[in-house]
Amino acid sequence: LYHLLAVPLRGDEAFAALYWAGLPLRDSLSTIIAIEPFPPLNYVTHRIWGVLFGIDSPFALRMLPVLGNVVGIAVLYALGKRLGGKQLGLLAAFLWAIHPNQIWHAQDVRPYALWATLSGLSLWLGLRLIARRRRLDWVLYGLITTITALYFYTELFFIGTLGLYVLLTNWRHNRRFVLQFLGLQAIAIVAAMLSYIIFQGSLVGSSAYDGNISALDPTLYLTWFLPAFTIGDTLPQSVLMWVWPLLIAGFVGATILLWRWKKATGLLLGMLALIPPIALGVVSLKVRVFHPRYVLGAEAAFILIFAAGIVIIGQRKKWAGLLVIGIWVFAAGISLWHYHNDPAFKKSVDWPTLAHYLQENTTNNDFIIQQSIDAAFGYYYQRAGIQAEDTGLPTSSSQPEDEIIQTLEKAYAQYHSIWVIARPYP
Which region among 172-181, 198-207, 232-241, 340-349 has the lowest average model confidence (pLDDT)?
198-207
pLDDT of residue 78: 98
Where does the pLDDT of residue 277 fall: very low under 50, low under 70, confident under 90, or very high at 90 and above?
Answer: very high
Same-domain pairing of 157 and 90: yes
Res 373 pLDDT > 70:
yes
Q: What is the mean pLDDT of the chain?
A: 92
pLDDT of residue 389: 86
Cα–Cα distance measured from residue 363 to residue 219, given in angstroms and rounded to the nearest whole number: 51
pLDDT of residue 205: 59
309 sits in which H/E element: helix 298-316
Distances (CA, A) of 63 to 34, 52, 57, 101: 26, 12, 10, 17
Q: Which residues contact 101 (CB under 8 A, 6 or more apart)?
A: 228, 229, 232, 233, 292, 296, 299
pTM higher than the cut 0.85: yes
SS3 397: coil
Pairing of strands 366-370, 417-421: parallel
Whether 376 is in a domain gets the answer yes
Which region among 56-70, 200-214, 397-411 has the lowest average model confidence (pLDDT)?
200-214
Is the torsion defined by CA of 197, 199, 201, 207 positive or negative? negative
Average pLDDT over residues 387-413: 86
Average pLDDT over residues 131-154: 97
Same-domain pairing of 100 and 188: yes
Same-domain pairing of 292 and 363: no
Q: Is the Cβ–Cβ distance between 102 and 96 less than 8 Å? A: yes
Res 315 pLDDT > 60:
yes
Average pLDDT over residues 10-28: 95
pLDDT of residue 396: 76
Average pLDDT over residues 229-237: 89
pLDDT of residue 209: 60
Same-domain pairing of 230 and 376: no
Res 337 pLDDT > 80:
yes
Cα–Cα distance measured from residue 215 to residue 291, given in angstroms and rounded to the nearest whole number: 9
- Which residues form the domain of 413? 351-421
pLDDT of residue 241: 84
Same-domain pairing of 169 and 60: yes
**Residue 288 DSSP one-character state:** B
Cα–Cα distance measured from residue 325 to residue 92, given in angstroms and rounded to the nearest whole number: 11
Final residue belonging to a domain, choices 298, 313, 345: 345
pLDDT of residue 206: 59
Q: Which residues contact 246 (CB under 8 A, 6 or more apart)?
A: none
Same-domain pairing of 383 and 409: yes
Where does the pLDDT of residue 426 fall: very low under 50, low under 70, confident under 90, or very high at 90 and above?
Answer: very low
The count of other CB atoms within 10 Å of the CB of residue 241 is 11
Res 402 pLDDT > 60:
yes
Whether 5 is in a domain gets the answer no
Average pLDDT over residues 391-400: 81
Where does the pLDDT of residue 5 fall: very low under 50, low under 70, confident under 90, or very high at 90 and above?
Answer: confident
Res 159 pLDDT > 50:
yes
Res 194 pLDDT > 70:
yes
pLDDT of residue 272: 98
Residue 71, classified by CB atoms within 10 Å of its CB into exposed (0-12), middle (13-18) or buried (19+), is middle
Same-domain pairing of 265 and 231: yes
Same-domain pairing of 319 and 368: no
The count of other CB atoms within 10 Å of the CB of residue 60 is 17
Distances (CA, A) of 110 to 107, 163, 293, 315, 426: 9, 28, 10, 39, 18
Where does the pLDDT of residue 250 fall: very low under 50, low under 70, confident under 90, or very high at 90 and above?
Answer: very high
Q: How many domains does the chain have?
A: 2
